[in-house]
C-alpha cells in the first residue's frame, strides 16, 4: 500500500495515469510451504539456535542440503577443477582433520556464507586476512614480510594477489546414513555431522558463574577445501608454490572462527613445534546433537585455556588482567592466540559403557605445542599441570571407573551404571610432569609453577580472584598417596559425600535434579605400569552465593579431610580451611 501511494504521487506530478493495476489473480501461500531459510528467524516461525530436540533445525538443514535420494549427500556441488596453475587461476586443495567454522553473521544460527545453489564457501576477504597474519608471525623473515605486503597490498600500493575464496569439495554436509534393525525392516536415517553444538563451560567451571546451555551451529566436518587465487601480473609456477607454502604457514593459527577453541586447525609437521606430548587416553566421549559420539580434539585447547585462567587467577586478583593474558595466549574474537597446537590423531576407538550406554572413546596421538620464547616455559608448565592434575576431555575431574576388557580396566570395576571419568598416560618428558614421581616432587612442581605464574605476570604477592577454582594455596588442598589401586574412589560413591554438592554435585533432596560441578579433582597419575600417584584436589575458597560443602546444614569438608588422612593420604600443597 505504501509503495502504491508513492507510485501514484510520483505519477501525478508527471501528469500520468495514477491508477495502479490490480493483480490478475490472488496469490495465496500457506505458511508451511515457505522454506525455513526464508522464514522470520523467531520463535514459532524458525528458531535454530538451540541444540535440543529442534525440529526447525532438522527441517532447515534438510532443505538446505537438498539431499540426493540414494546417498543423502548434497545434490548441488561446485565443479571440482584442477589444482595448480590453471590459466590465470592457481588452486590448491587442503584436507582438514577436524571441524572448520566460519560465520556469515546472519540468521539466528552461526553458519558459513552461502553462495549459488546454497553451496557454502569461505569469502576471499577471510583468506586475505589469514594471509596477512604472517606479518605478525614470530618466524617470518624480513624478505618474507616484504613479500606478504606486496601480495596483500597497502594504502599506497594495490595488492598483487586476488583471493577468490575457498569452497568444500564433495560431501560438504558430513552425511552419515545410520541403519537401524530394531523393527522387522531395516530403517535408514540420514544425519549431518555439520550440525555442531557448543557448550560454553569455562565461566561455570572456573568462575562459578552462569548456567548450562547448548548452542547449535553449522561447521564443516573434516572438509576438503579448494582454494583459488589469481594475480594482477603473470607469476611463474615456482612463485605460486611459494605463495601456497606461505599460506599453509599462516594456517598454523587456524582457519575461520573459533580457532581460540581449536576449530580450523590444519596439519603442520611436528618438527616445527617447540615440544610434544605423546598421549593415550580413555574416557567419556562428547555427544553431538544427533546422538552420535565424537572425539573433539578442541578439548586440549579448552583444557589448557581453562587451567591458564585458574592458575593466573590464583596470583592476580584483577579479572581484566587475567582475561587479557589468557586471550593473548589462546586467542579471542579479535585476534588469534600466541599458542599454536595441533592434535595428531594416531588411533581412535568409540564404544558405549554401562547400563546407560554412555559413549566412550580411546585415543592415541601426539599433542604438538608451540609459543613465543617469552611464553614457552609457562606453556610447558601449564601442559604439565593439565596432565598431572586431571587429564583432558569430558568428566576429567574423575578417574576412569570401568572400561571394556581390551581397554583400561578402570579403578572401580564393580561400577556398571554408566561411564565416569578419564585416564591419560604417555610420554611427557618434554614438560615438568616428567619429573613427578612421588608426593614430594609434585609438591615441588606446584610450588615452582605458582612462583612462575607470579613472575609471568610481574607480581610479588599472590592475591586470588574470588573465583570457584582460583589456584591459590589458601583456597585449596592437594592430597597424595602412592598406590597400585585407588584408595579414594569409594568416597565419591559414599551415600553422604555423593549427595554433597561439592563432591557429588547433588543434594539429598530427590526433587533437586540440578547437577553442579564438583569442587574435588581426582587423578591417578601413572608412575610405572602398575603404580600410581593418587591425587585428590579439594577447593574450599570463599563462595559468593552458597556453600557447596553444606549437606542438610552440616559442613562435610572436615569429614572428607578426615577420611583421606585415615586412608594414608598426605597434604602436599595448599592449606586446610584454618589456613594451617
- Tell which residue, 135, 127, 138, 45, has the closest CA to residue 91: 127
Q: In terms of pLDDT, which residue wins out, 419 or 20?
A: 419
Q: What is the mean pLDDT of residues 447-462?
A: 96
Predicted local distance difference test score (pLDDT) of residue 177: 77
Please state, in angstroms and rounded to a whole number, the distance separating the CA atoms of residues 45 and 43. Answer: 6
Predicted local distance difference test score (pLDDT) of residue 80: 83
Work out the pLDDT band at 22, boundaries 50, 70, 90. Answer: low
Which of 6-15, 240-249, 262-271 shows the lowest per-residue confidence on average (mean pLDDT)?
6-15
* Grid cell locating 506: 547433588
12 exposure class (CB count in 10 Å sphere: 0-12, 13-18, 19+) = exposed
- Write out the E strands in 459-569: 476-483, 520-526, 532-539, 550-551, 554-555
Q: In terms of pLDDT, which residue wins out, 92 or 351?
A: 92
**530 backbone dihedrals φ, ψ, rounded to 5°:** -120, -5
Work out the pLDDT band at 16, boundaries 50, 70, 90. Answer: low
Nearest 5°: CA angle at 557, between 381 and 312? 25
Chain mean pLDDT for the chain: 86
Predicted local distance difference test score (pLDDT) of residue 1: 45
Parse the chain into domains and list their residue ranges. Answer: 40-256, 270-574
Report how far apart, in Å, the C-alpha atoms of 87 and of each of 90, 234, 238, 545 are: 8, 10, 15, 66
Predicted local distance difference test score (pLDDT) of residue 265: 79
Q: pLDDT tens digits, residue range 362-401?
A: 999 999 999 999 999 999 999 999 999 999 988 999 999 9
Please answer whether residues 277 and 425 qualify as being in contact, where contact means their C-beta atoms are separated by less than 8 angstroms.
no
Q: What is the mean pLDDT of residues 78-98?
A: 91
Please answer whether residues 96 and 170 qualify as being in contact, where contact means their C-beta atoms are separated by less than 8 angstroms.
no
Q: pLDDT tens digits, residue range 286-324?
A: 888 767 788 988 899 989 999 999 999 999 999 999 999
pLDDT over 70 percentage in the chain: 87
Query: Taking 50 as the threshold, does the pLDDT of residue 580 lie above it?
Result: no
Q: pLDDT tens digits, residue range 313-369?
A: 999 999 999 999 999 999 887 777 889 888 889 999 988 887 888 889 999 999 999
493: left (phi over 0), alpha (psi -120 to 50) or beta: alpha
Look at the block and give the residue holding cell 574416557.
283
Q: pLDDT tens digits, residue range 38-69?
A: 777 777 777 776 656 678 888 888 888 888 88
| Secondary structure class of 381 (helix, strand, coil) | helix
Predicted local distance difference test score (pLDDT) of residue 498: 92
Please state, in angstroms and rounded to a whole number, the distance separating the CA atoms of residues 212 and 203. Answer: 10
Query: Taking 50 as the threshold, does the pLDDT of residue 2 lie above it?
Result: no
pLDDT over 90 percentage in the chain: 45
Q: In terms of pLDDT, which residue wins out, 546 or 104?
A: 104
Please state, in angstroms and rounded to a whole number, the distance separating the CA atoms of residues 398 and 401. Answer: 8
Q: Do β-strands 520-526 and 99-100 pair in parallel, antiparallel, or remain unpaired?
A: unpaired
Q: Residue 16's CB: how many other CB atoms inside 10 A? A: 11
Report how far apart, in Å, the C-alpha atoms of 254 and of each of 53, 133, 181 are: 31, 11, 41
- Write out the E strands in 265-391: 275-284, 286-287, 293-294, 340-353, 358-370
Predicted local distance difference test score (pLDDT) of residue 579: 44
Predicted local distance difference test score (pLDDT) of residue 357: 84
Amino acid at each position: 500500500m505504501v509503495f502504491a501511494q508513492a507510485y501514484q504521487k510520483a505519477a501525478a506530478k508527471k501528469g500520468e495515469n495514477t491508477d495502479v493495476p490490480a493483480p490478475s489473480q490472488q496469490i495465496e501461500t500457506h505458511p508451511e510451504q515457505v522454506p525455513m531459510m526464508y522464514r522470520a528467524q523467531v520463535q514459532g516461525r524458525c528458531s535454530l539456535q538451540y541444540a535440543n530436540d529442534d525440529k526447525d533445525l532438522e527441517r532447515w538443514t534438510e532443505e538446505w542440503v537438498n539431499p540426493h535420494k540414494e546417498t543423502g549427500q548434497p545434490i548441488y556441488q561446485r565443479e571440482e577443477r584442477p589444482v595448480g596453475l590453471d590459466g590465470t587461476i592457481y588452486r590448491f586443495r587442503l584436507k582438514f582433520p577436524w571441524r572448520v567454522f566460519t560465520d556469515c553473521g546472519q540468521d539466528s544460527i552461526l553458519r558459513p556464507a552461502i553462495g549459488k545453489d546454497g553451496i557454502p564457501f569461505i569469502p576471499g576477504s577471510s583468506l586475505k586476512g589469514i594471509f596477512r597474519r604472517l606479518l605478525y608471525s614470530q618466524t617470518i623473515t624480513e624478505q618474507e614480510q616484504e613479500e606478504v605486503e606486496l601480495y596483500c597490498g597497502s594504502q599506497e600500493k594495490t595488492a598483487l594477489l586476488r583471493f577468490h575464496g575457498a569452497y568444500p569439495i564433495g560431501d560438504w554436509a558430513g552425511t552419515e546414513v545410520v541403519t537401524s534393525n530394531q523393527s522387522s525392516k531395516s530403517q535408514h536415517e540420514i544425519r549431518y555431522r555439520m550440525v555442531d553444538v557448543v557448550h560454553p563451560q569455562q565461566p561455570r567451571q572456573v568462575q562459578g558463574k552462569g548456567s548450562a546451555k547448548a548452542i547449535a551451529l553449522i561447521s564443516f566436518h573434516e572438509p576438503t577445501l579448494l582454494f583459488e587465487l589469481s594475480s594482477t601480473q603473470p607469476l611463474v609456477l615456482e612463485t605460486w608454490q611459494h605463495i601456497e607454502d606461505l599460506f599453509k604457514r599462516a594456517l598454523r593459527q587456524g582457519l575461520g572462527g573459533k580457532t581460540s577453541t581449536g576449530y580450523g586447525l590444519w596439519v603442520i609437521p611436528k618438527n616445527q613445534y617447540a615440544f610434544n606430548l605423546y598421549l593415550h587416553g580413555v574416557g567419556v566421549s562428547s555427544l553431538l546433537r544427533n546422538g552420535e559420539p565424537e572425539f573433539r580434539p578442541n578439548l586440549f585447547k579448552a583444557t589448557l585455556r581453562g587451567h591458564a585462567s585458574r592458575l593466573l587467577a590464583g596470583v592476580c586478583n584483577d579479572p581484566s588482567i587475567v582475561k587479557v593474558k589468557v586471550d593473548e595466549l589462546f586467542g579471542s574474537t579479535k585476534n588469534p592466540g600466541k599458542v599454536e597446537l595441533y592434535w595428531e590423531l594416531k588411533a581412535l576407538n568409540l564404544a558405549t559403557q554401562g547400563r546407560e550406554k554412555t559413549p566412550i572413546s580411546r585415543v592415541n596421538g601426539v599433542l604438538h605445542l608451540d609459543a613465543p620464547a617469552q611464553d614457552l616455559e609457562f606453556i610447558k608448565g601449564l601442559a604439565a599441570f593439565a596432565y598431572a592434575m586431571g587429564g583432558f576431555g569430558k568428566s576429567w575431574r574423575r578417574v576412569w571407573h570401568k572400561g571394556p576388557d581390551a581397554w583400561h580396566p578402570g579403578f572401580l570395576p564393580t561400577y556398571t551404571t554408566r561411564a565416569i571419568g578419564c585416564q591419560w598416560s604417555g610420554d611427557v618428558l618434554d614438560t615438568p610432569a616428567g619429573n613427578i614421581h612421588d608426593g614430594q616432587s609434585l609438591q615441588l612442581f606446584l610450588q615452582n609453577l605458582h612462583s612462575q605464574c607470579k613472575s609471568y605476570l610481574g607480581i610479588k604477592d599472590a592475591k586470588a580472584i574470588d573465583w570457584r577454582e582460583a589456584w591459590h594455596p589458601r583456597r585449596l588442598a592437594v592430597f597424595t598417596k602412592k598406590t597400585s589401586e585407588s584408595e579414594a574412589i569409594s568416597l565419591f560413591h559414599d551415600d553422604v559425600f555423593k549427595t554433597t554438592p561439592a563432591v557429588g554435585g547433588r543434594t539429598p533432596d530427590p526433587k533437586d535434579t540440578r547437577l553442579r560441578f564438583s569442587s574435588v579433582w581426582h587423578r591417578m597419575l601413572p608412575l610405572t605400569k602398575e603404580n600410581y600417584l593418587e591425587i585428590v584436589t579439594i577447593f574450599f575458597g570463599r563462595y559468593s552465593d552458597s556453600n557447596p560443602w553444606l549437606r542438610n546444614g552440616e559442613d562435610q569438608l572436615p569429614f572428607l579431610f578426615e577420611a583421606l588422612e585415615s586412608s594414608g593420604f598426605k597434604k602436599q600443597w595448599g592449606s586446610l580451611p584454618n589456613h594451617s
